């Protein structure tokens, strides 16, 4: 009789230890998964802050590709991407530039330079946009995001 009680206690102890091991493993997996999800979310946010301005620049350039429609102009010491487009038969210039930690755009009639860069519309926060044209039909855009991270893209302006 005594032997039966002892054996029964060991069986219960084994089941409890097995359950505790399973519970510990489940908690560890959930903790590791949560940490990994957090890291992925942070990385996606960081990459998005660089990809969004690039996507905007490339999409705008590709929508307006025409002969001699895209050039770099300097206005008040700021290099702007000037894109010529026609709206209702009238020529306009869409200017994209960085000003006061923002990516800005401004649409003005062609030939009109009676404006200030502060009058543009803010597109998104951005520390700096550097534009250069190393060759005909090629623009290099260097973007510095708010955190100081910098990257660049090459945009073709050839129709």
Q: Give 12-36 pLDDT, tens digit per residue.
A: 888 999 999 999 999 999 999 999 9
Please report the beta strands in the chain, taking only residues with DSSP state E, as ranges in sequence order.
70-75, 78-87, 90-98, 102-109, 121-125, 128-135, 138-144, 150-156
Q: What is the pTM of this model?
A: 0.73
Other Cβ atoms within 10 Å of 75 Cβ, number: 15
Whether 93 contacts 105, CB under 8 Å: no
pLDDT, tens digit, 9 for 90 and up, residues 84-113: 998 999 999 999 999 999 999 999 999 888
């Amino acid at each position: 009789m005594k032997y039966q009680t002892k054996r029964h206690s060991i069986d219960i102890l084994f089941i409890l230890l097995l359950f505790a091991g399973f519970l510990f493993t489940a908690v560890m997996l959930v903790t590791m998964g949560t940490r990994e999800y957090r890291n992925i979310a942070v990385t996606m946010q960081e990459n998005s802050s660089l990809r969004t301005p690039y996507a905007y620049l490339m999409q705008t350039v590709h929508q307006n590709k025409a002969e001699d429609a895209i050039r770099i102009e300097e206005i008040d010491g700021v290099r702007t991407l000037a894109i010529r487009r026609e709206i209702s038969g009238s020529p306009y210039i869409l200017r994209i530039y960085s000003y006061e930690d923002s990516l800005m755009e401004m649409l003005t009639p062609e030939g009109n330079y009676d404006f200030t860069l502060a009058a543009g519309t803010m597109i998104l926060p951005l520390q700096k946009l550097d534009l250069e044209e190393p060759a005909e039909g090629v623009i290099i855009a260097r973007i510095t995001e708010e955190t100081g991270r910098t990257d660049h893209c090459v945009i073709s302006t050839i129709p």
